[in-house]
Amino acid sequence: MNVVYILWLRQLKRTFRSKSRVIGSLGQPLLFLFALGFGFGPIYAKANAGANYMDVIAPGVMAMGILFTAVFSGIEIIWDRQFGFLKETLVAPTSRMNIMIGRTLGGATIASIQGIIIFCFTFIAGFRPTSYMMLPVALLIVFLIAVLFTALGTAIASVLSDFQGFQLVMNFLVMPLFFLSGALFPLQNLPTVLAIIVRIDPLSYGVDGLRGALIPPAHLGLPLDLTVLGAITLLLLIIGSYLFSRIEA
């Protein structure tokens, strides 16, 4: 467990040493929050009897920030492989599962902090949770999303040898996961095909869970959201650990 803690701490120090990276990663989520939140707000209110669009987009933008940061944290393995840092880690006298868990927890912690920072910015945009008593549940969902997609990034990075496939991952996996999760639109009254796709997308359960915790009720149901997130997170940790164990030192 000491190795897990050391790798977790190393991941945190590595990220927060680069202040420009931390600040830069906030740019896109905040652009979506303020540009789309205020831009589409009046149209959404007119079409939905005065409903507040910020209640829809704020949890979605939180999930967006966590998704991108978590996946990028996992894909950092490619960078480490290119510059030889990964080899130093893999030859350490410890199991690769511990190495993978330590790196994953470090990336998930960073992504969770990112989500909390974005949550603070949503107050500036006018978002207000219905019940602050549900904040611990929201934090649990934030952490589950972060672990899930850091493990996914690790699994992807374990089978990629260089950055040539990175744009493929972004364009055909990460961006569809975000846009088809319901992060930018409510999950009610969707066309049948889109409703099916939304239920297949694991991020949908994170977005719906955050909405259910912050602005109840959840469309899919909070127990279902937590169950699905927990199950997929466990599955991806197992897959990521297996693929990471096959990396050659």
Q: Domains of the chain: which residue ranges?
A: 2-245
- Token pair, residue 222, equals 């909070």
pTM, whole model, 2 decimals?
Answer: 0.91
Q: Is the pLDDT of residue 214 over 90?
A: yes
Average pLDDT over the chain, rounded to whole? 86
- Find out whether 63 and 206 touch, Cβ atoms under 8 Å: yes
Where helices occur in the chain by DSSP H, the ranges are 2-17, 19-24, 27-31, 37-47, 54-83, 85-90, 96-124, 135-159, 166-169, 175-179, 192-200, 202-214, 222-245
DSSP 172: I
Confidence grade of residue 72 (pLDDT, cut at 50, 70, 90): confident
Q: What is the pLDDT of residue 2?
A: 67
What pLDDT does residue 129 have?
94
Q: Of 146-150, 167-171, 177-181, 198-202, which range is least confident?
A: 167-171
Query: Mean pLDDT lowest for which of 17-21, 177-181, 244-248?
Result: 17-21
- For residues 186 and 157, the model is more confident at 186
181 pLDDT band, cuts 50/70/90, is very high
Instruction: Indicate whether 207 pLDDT > 70.
Output: yes
- Give the pLDDT score at 229: 97
Mean pLDDT of 140-154: 94
217 Ramachandran zone, left/alpha/beta (phi>0; psi -120 to 50): beta
- As a whole number, mean pLDDT of residues 29-56 equals 91
Query: Quick one: pLDDT at residue 49?
Result: 85
DSSP 181: T
